[in-house]
């Protein structure tokens, strides 16, 4: 019986008899066979040696596919586990999944792992990989699996087996002397794993539960080629240099103190940067027809019960009592915006109503998850809520997409879009969710935008479009979002008076552009390595004299620049000019201006641009006009 294989491009091939995925790849090209890591059969990811004995759709997975990278790195985690088993035989094994940019394995061992162990483990991994040990899958009964792992004292595997559904297929994979409980898929053998590196060690509670034992988690990464690993490690080194926490301290932007873990303190330079971002946000939104509002930080428990946050988000909220009544610190701004809308009657003629808010919210994050400005417990969302007619949904979504695009283009960010659909804990009917999801999908389709579908990751009250920024190191950050909501208007009974004189229900959009001001500042700091565009820089111009003789001259220039809105300062210290120039460069100040006797006599200034070096002598008035224009245009 022949087997028809249909490929993602619509093409197909017929084979006279059953065939493996590897054989299909080889029949297409030698190069594809060499690069193949697995296959996606009718949407399910499988090993290369999977036999295809009926008509299927097939995508050959390579390193270019995320699913292919997961296969490669999951196999690498088994390689790590075998090496650890060989070197530290009393070790018990937890889990070893692939993660973004790498993998890890959790170990329970009498040996306390340290980075000093890494060279020996990597050497053993290299030995095993070179031998090309095949990954062999076996499907066994629950009783066999329990017996095997119980006999070897692998209590964590026994627990995992007991938690599997009664009808679940139980499989193991073995390479060499290491056998693991695993659903796969895996590489054909260890020989494809050419480059790997152990990265770090951390403690991890078994299954993420603080009541369970703390295991030792070894993080690592792997690549098909050494050059790819070298490039990745170089990017990590560059990322360390750009770490916003270090740069934030150096430039006096922000700090986090023991008295407020997860609650950042913004310093004077950081407030300048923050205020410039907020000023830009207000200008942009005023032009786009948004009215700014401000809602309270603490609101009654009944509001959060009505909104659904009490049932769906309570574990992430902070609470207090006022006059023996329960209140909650707001984790989101939307219920407050709804109360503002309800404060007065509205006609269909007013819609859409666009409300923007720089709203401070608080969310409980575990201490281990906190990270500078990227993961905090209080942050300001550049929220906006749009109340509209159903007929206005598509146009409003398009306009929001264009607004967010304008924001990201200003900073030079590329981005991609993801459409997140109905989650398990969603409120509302399937019909409403389908209508809302289709509205988002249609708006993106009509704008000709490409996007990925992220199944089940919508908010509990509606589907959303997420904007994932790509920084100069190729890292992605989820910032902007557009959430379409049919639920909150229903729960809060908000209405407008229609053309027929009757009450009707509006639809809501929740959206952010920056996402979180704090996080966006962290991203910008790393993206620009602290060398912000002139309009954002806390100090835009630093003027320096070679001797005290030129000090009155540069002070006069500084005063004139300040009068035109330039953030300028004088470095009049009794230091050598080379030292002052180097310090200005270390502070990433865009313009360093130097005056000696010659400049003072000619009414000029010597110009140094950060990142460009010495640009020669310039007329003071012309240069001032250029800087003013650069700031005004937000270049």
Residue from 192, 245, 464, 608 carrying the catalytic annotation: 464
What six digits make up the tokens of 260?
């407020």
Active site residue 385: yes
3-state secondary structure of 143: helix
Residue from 74, 377, 510, 527 carrying the catalytic annotation: 510
Query: In this structure, what are the phi and psi dihedrals at residue 204, rounded to the nearest 5 degrees?
Result: -150, 125
Give the CA distances from residue 193 to residues 78, 130, 190, 223, 274, in Å, rounded to whole numbers and listed in that order: 11, 8, 6, 7, 46
Q: How far apart are CA 46 and CA 183, in angstroms?
A: 10
3-state secondary structure of 52: strand
Q: How far apart are CA 357 and CA 360, in angstroms?
A: 9
Q: How far apart are CA 236 and CA 537, in angstroms?
A: 26
Active site residue 381: yes
Active site residue 430: no
Q: How far apart are CA 6 and CA 41, in angstroms?
A: 10
Q: How far apart are CA 149 and CA 155, in angstroms?
A: 7
Residue from 85, 175, 216, 381 carrying the catalytic annotation: 381
CA angle, corner 242, sides to 240 and 245, nearest 5?
Answer: 85
Active site residue 363: yes
For residue 185, whether the previous peptide bond is cis, meaning omega lies within 30 degrees of 0, is yes
Q: Are strands 476-485 and 98-99 parallel, antiparallel or unpaired?
A: unpaired
Residue from 334, 378, 479, 558 carrying the catalytic annotation: 334
CA angle, corner 244, sides to 239 and 249, nearest 5?
Answer: 130
10 Å CB burial of residue 323 (0-12, 13-18, 19+) is exposed
Count of all residues that appear for the chain in the document: 635
Q: CB neighbours of 200 closer than 8 A, spacing ≥ 6?
A: 115, 218, 219
Residue of 23, 48, 51 lying closest to 37 (CA atoms): 48
Tally DSSP H helices, then E strands, for the chain: 20, 35
Q: Please state, as a whole number, how many other Cβ atoms lie within 10 Å of the Cβ of residue 456.
A: 11
Residue of 466, 450, 451 lying closest to 404 (CA atoms): 466
Active site residue 510: yes
Q: How far apart are CA 613 and CA 627, in angstroms?
A: 17
3-state secondary structure of 133: coil
Transcribe 192-212 into DSSP letters: G--EEEEEEEEEEEGGG-TTS
Residue from 47, 180, 383, 471 carrying the catalytic annotation: 383
What six digits make up the tokens of 124?
């053993």
Transcribe 548-610 into DSSP letters: GGGHHHHHHHHHHHHHTT--EEEE--SS-HHHHHHHHHHTT-SEEEEE-HHHHHHTEEEEEET
Transcribe 165-185 into DSSP letters: -TT--EEEEEETTEEEE----
Residue from 242, 363, 375, 511 carrying the catalytic annotation: 363
Q: Name the residue with tokens 């056998």.
A: 179
Sign for the CA dihedral angle at 227, 233, 235, 237 comes to negative
Provide the annotated active-site residues.
Answer: 334, 363, 381, 383, 385, 464, 510
């Amino acid at each position: 019986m022949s087997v028809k294989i249909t490929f993602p491009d619509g093409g197909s091939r017929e084979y006279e008899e059953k065939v493996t995925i590897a054989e299909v790849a080889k029949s297409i090209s030698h190069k594809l066979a060499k690069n193949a890591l697995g296959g996606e059969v009718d949407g399910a990811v499988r090993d290369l040696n999977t036999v295809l004995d009926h008509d299927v759709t097939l995508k050959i997975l390579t390193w270019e596919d995320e699913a292919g990278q997961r296969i490669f790195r999951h196999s690498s985690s088994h390689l790590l586990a075998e090496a650890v088993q060989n070197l530290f035989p009393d070790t018990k094994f937890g889990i070893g999944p692939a993660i973004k940019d790498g993998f890890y394995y959790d170990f329970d061992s009498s040996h306390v792992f340290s980075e000093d162990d890494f060279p020996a483990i990597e050497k053993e991994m290299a030995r095993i990989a070179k031998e090309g040990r095949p990954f062999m899958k076996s499907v066994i009964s629950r009783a066999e699996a329990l017996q095997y792992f119980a006999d070897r004292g692998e209590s964590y595997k026994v627990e995992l087996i007991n938690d599997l559904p009664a009808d679940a297929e139980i499989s193991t994979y073995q390479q060499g002397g290491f056998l693991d409980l695993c659903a796969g898929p895996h590489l054909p053998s260890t020989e494809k794993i050419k480059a790997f590196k152990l990265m770090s060690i951390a403690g991890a509670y078994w299954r993420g539960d603080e009541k369970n034992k703390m295991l030792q988690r070894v993080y690592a990464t792997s690549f098909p080629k050494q050059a790819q690993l070298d490039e990745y490690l170089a990017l990590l080194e560059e990322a360390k240099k750009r770490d916003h926490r270090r740069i934030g301290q150096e430039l006096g932007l922000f700090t986090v103190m023991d008295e407020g873990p997860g609650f950042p303190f913004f310093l004077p330079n950081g407030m300048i940067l923050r205020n410039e971002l907020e000023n830009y946000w207000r200008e942009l939104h005023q032009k786009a027809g948004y009215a700014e509002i401000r809602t309270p930080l603490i609101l009654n428990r009944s509001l959060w019960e009505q909104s659904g946050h009490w049932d769906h988000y309570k574990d992430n909220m902070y609470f207090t009592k006022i006059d023996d009544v329960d209140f909650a610190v707001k984790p989101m701004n939307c219920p407050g915006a709804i109360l503002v809308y309800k404060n007065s009657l509205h006609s269909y003629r007013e819609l859409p109503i666009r409300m923007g808010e720089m709203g401070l919210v608080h969310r409980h994050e575990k201490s281990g998850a906190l990270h500078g400005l990227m993961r905090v417990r209080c942050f300001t969302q550049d929220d906006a809520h749009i109340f509209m007619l159903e007929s206005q949904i598509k146009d409003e979504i398009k306009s929001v997409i264009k607004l967010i695009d304008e924001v990201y283009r200003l900073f030079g960010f590329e981005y991609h879009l993801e459409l997140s659909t109905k989650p398990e804990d969603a409120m509302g009917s399937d019909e409403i969710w389908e209508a809302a999801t289709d509205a988002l999908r249609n708006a993106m389709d009509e704008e000709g935008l490409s996007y990925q579908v992220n199944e089940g990751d919508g908010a509990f009250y509606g589907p959303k479009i997420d904007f994932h920024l790509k920084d100069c190191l190729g890292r992605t950050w989820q910032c902007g979002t557009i959430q379409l909501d049919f639920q909150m208007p229903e729960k809060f009974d908000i209405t407008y008076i229609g053309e027929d004189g009757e009450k009707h229900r509006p639809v809501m959009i929740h959206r952010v552009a920056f996402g979180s001001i704090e996080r966006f500042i962290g991203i910008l700091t790393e993206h620009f390595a602290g060398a912000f565009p002139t309009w954002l820089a806390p100090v835009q111009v630093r003027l320096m004299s070679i001797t005290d003789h030129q000090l009155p001259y540069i002070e006069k220039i500084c005063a004139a620049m300040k009068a035109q809105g330039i953030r300028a300062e004088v470095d009049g210290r009794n230091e050598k000019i080379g030292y002052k120039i180097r310090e200005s460069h270390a502070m990433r100040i865009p313009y360093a201006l130097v005056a000696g006797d010659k400049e003072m006599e000619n009414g000029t200034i010597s110009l140094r641009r950060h990142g460009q070096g010495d640009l020669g002598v310039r007329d003071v008035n012309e240069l001032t006009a250029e800087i003013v224009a650069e700031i005004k245009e937000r270049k």
